[in-house]
Structure 1
Amino acid sequence: MAPRTDFPPVRACLFDMDGLLLDTEDIYTLCVNELLRKHKKEKAPLPWSIKAQLQGRPGPAALDIFHNWAELPISREQYKEEYYALQAQKFKHTTALPGVKELLQKLGSTRYWDLKKDDEWPAPKPHRVHIALATSSHEANFRMKTNHIQELFSVFETHRRVLGDDPRIPEGRGKPLPDIYLIALKTINDSLPEGEEPITPEECLVFEDSIPGVEAGRRAGMRVIWCPHPMLKQEVDKTNGTKLVLAGLLNQAQIEKEKAEKKKAQAGLTNGTVEANTDGTADIEKTTESENDKPGEIDDGWAEYLPSLLCFPYERYGIQIPDAVVNEEPSMVETAKIDEGEVLQAVQTEVADN
C-alpha cells in the first residue's frame, strides 16, 4: 500500500523507558544470566529469541514467559527474590542511552513557543511539544532506575508519568495493548493550558524499543519510532520481520503461525478432522482480540525504524526546535526551575514515606 504522508505536526511525544531512554536492557540480561548460571547452566545465556518476548511487557506476563522457557528448579518466589536483589544492586548505575539527553532537552525547550503572545510570531506560530512517560516498570523499579538521575526525568512532570502499576491501567491491559499510551495522552490533555485544543492520537509520536511497545503505540492510533537494541534488530532481521514490527503485526503473525501448527497437529491426531479445543486452555488467537484497538498495515507510513536517537529528524514530524540560546532567557530558566522543583519534591516525598 502507499504510505500515508499527510500527517499533522506532532504535538505530543510519549516515551517508553527501559531500553529506550535508559541502558537497562543489558542490566536485565546480566541479572537473568547470573541466575541461569546459578540454577540452570544449560539455559545460559538467555537467547534474544526469548528476551525479545519479555521486553516491554508487564512484569507478571514477562515472568510467565520466562519461567515457561527456563524451567528453573526453584520456585517463582525464590527467583523473584534473587532477581530483584540483583536489580537493586545494578540499577543504581543506569545511564541515558545515546541521544536521549539532547532529545529530551530540545523537546522541553519547545515550551518557549508558549511564552510569548501569538501576535509576536510570524504565522504559522511554532507549537510546543508536550511529553509524557509510559513505562511498564512498576513504581519501585522506576525509583531504583532513576533516583540517581532525577535531572534527566525532571522534564516529565509527575502527573504525566504512567507506570506499569498505575491503577488507571485495567487488569490484563498492559503492552501490547494500547491502554498505557492512551492514558499517557489523557494526562497531557487533562493538563493543557487554557485555550489549547486537545491533542489527538495521530498528533502523537510514540518512542519504543520493544516489539510489544510498538504494537501498543500502533493500536493506540499513534505514529511510532522503533529504536531497538541492536541484538533485537538482528533477531528480527533473521525473518525479515521489520515491516511486521512497524505495522504492529509481528505478534499477530506469530500467533497465526502457532494456530496453523496447532491445527496441523490436531489434524494429525484426528485423521484430518480438526475438533474443538478441549484441553482447557484459551485459544491463542484470543490474546490479541480487543474491541476498538487494531494494529496497522504493512508500509502504511505510521512507523519508522531508527538505529538510535542521535540526530533526531525533528522537521520530518513538524517539530520546530528554538535556537539553543533561548534556554538562557530568564523566562526559560525560571520555568525550568519550577518544573524541576516540582518533580524533585514529589520524588523526595514519596521516598520519605517509605
Structure 2
Amino acid sequence: MSREFPSVRACIFDVDGTLINSEDIYTDIYNSILCEYGRPDYPWRIKATQQSRGTPGTNRLLAWAQVPLTTAEWKAKEKQHTHLFKQSKLLPGVESLLTVLHTKTSPPIKLSLASSAGHQLFALKTSHIPAITSTFTDPAFQVFGDDPEMSDSKKKPEPDIFLLALERLNAAAAKLGEHAIVAEECLVFEDSIAGVEAARRAGMRVVWVPHPGLAEVCDGREMEVLMGRTEKDGQVPDFGAAVGDGVIRTRLADGERVMSDDGFAEMRVNFEDFPFQEYGINVS
C-alpha cells in the first residue's frame, strides 16, 4: 500500500536505454552477429531477461541463439561493432530533466551514474553529448560495472551498484557536514527490469521508462516489474506470452504514468513533464 516518503535528495541514473538510445544500437549489433549464423533477429521477449545482467544475461542470450560461440567469443564479436556507439543520442526528455536537476533545484539534488557497462564504453557513448558530460563531471559519482568494487556476480538485479553509488554520495556529504542520505531519499532512473529490481532491493524509489519493445512484451506484467517480483520464484517469465484474462494492461501516452501498489516505483513513457514536486524536489 502506498505511503508517505521523504523528499528526494539524490538521483541515480542508469545510462544505456535510460539516458541514451544505445539499447537500439546493441540490438543492431546482436542482430548483425546473429545474421552471420543464419539466426533470426533478437526478440525483446529474450532481451527482457538479458538486459543489464552481465555475463548471466549474455548466457541467456546464447542459450536462446544456439550459435557455436562461447561467452567470451560472443563478447569479442560485440567489440568489433563498438564504434557504432559514437552515434548514441539522448532519449526524449532527458536533456530537460538533467538541466533542471543539475542547475535549478533548491536545495541542490545530488546526482550519480550507476551503469553495468564499463568506463571506456561510457566515454565512447556519451563524450559527444554535452548534456551528459556537463552534468556528470565528478568520476567519484560515476559507478560502472568494471569498477574495482564491482564484480560480475554483483550486477543488476543485485542492488550493489546502487548501494555503492549511495555510499560515495554519502562520503561526499559527510565531508560537507551534511547528514547521510538514506535509501528512500534516492530516486533511481532505469529502463531495464533488472535495474528496477536492483533499485528496489536497495530500498530506493525508481522511475521505470522501458523501451517500447520491452513495454510491449511486458504487457500485463507491468505491476510485477514495478514491484520487483518478476522472478520472485526463481523462474524467468515468458515475456510476450499471454498473461490471461482479468489482468490490467497499461497503454501510456506522453506524461502519463502508472504507480506501483506500494508507491516505490512508477512507469513512464519518457521523461517529459516530470513531476518534480511529487518527489519533494523544489525547482527554482
- TM bracket, shorter-chain basis: 0.7 to 0.9
CA RMSD of aligned residues (A): 1.8
Which residue number in structure 1 is paired with residue 79 of structure 2?
A: 84
Correspondence for 1:129: 109
Choose from 9, 12, 19 the match for 2:10.
12
Matched, 1:63 2:58: yes
Change (3 A) 1:251 1:9: same
Shift of 1:76: 4.0
What code does the residue aligned with 1:3 have?
A: S
Residues 52-97 of structure 1 deviation map (CA, whole Å, 9 limit, x = unaligned): 1111222x22221111111113444443222211122x10110110
The aligned amino acid for 1:212 is A
The TM-score, its normalising length taken from structure 2, stands at 0.87
The 2-side partners of 1:257 and 1:37 are apart by 26
Structure 1 residue aligned with 2:140: 159
SS in 1 for 2:81: helix
User: Any residues of structure 2 matched to 1:264-343 within 5 Å, and which?
Assistant: 299-322=261-284
Q: 1:105 Cα deviation (Å)?
A: 0.8
Q: 1:24-57 CA distances to partner (integer Å, 9 max, x unpaired)?
A: 0110000111111111x2x311111111111122
Output one character per residue of 1:251-271: Cα deviation in whole Å (capped at 9) or x when no partner: 22562879xxxxxxxxxxxxx
Q: Which has the larger radius of gyration?
A: 1
TM-score normalised by L of structure 1 = 0.70
Q: For 1:151-300, what aligned pairs fall within 5 Å after superposition? A: 151-156=131-136, 157-192=138-173, 194-237=176-219, 240-253=220-233, 255=235, 299-300=261-262
Residue among 38, 46, 49 paired with 2:45 = 49
Aligned sequence identity (%):
41
Larger helix proportion, structure 1 or 2?
A: 1
Deviations 1:188-224 (A, max 9, x none): 1111262321110000101000000000000000111
Q: Cα–Cα, structure 1 residues 232 and 254, in superposed 2: closer, same or farther, change >3 Å? A: farther
Per the TM alignment, residue 171 of structure 1 is displaced from its structure 2 partner at its CA by 5.0
Between the aligned partners of 2:189 and 2:236, the Cα distance in structure 1 is 27
1:219, 1:75 → 2: CA distance? 31
Question: Residue 228 of structure 1: SS of its match in structure 2?
Answer: coil
| 1:94 partner letter | S
| Unaligned ranges ≥5, structure 2 | 239-259
Q: Distance in 1 between matches of 2:25 and 2:181?
A: 35
How many equivalent residue pairs? 261
Cα 1:158–1:226 shift into 2, 3 Å: same
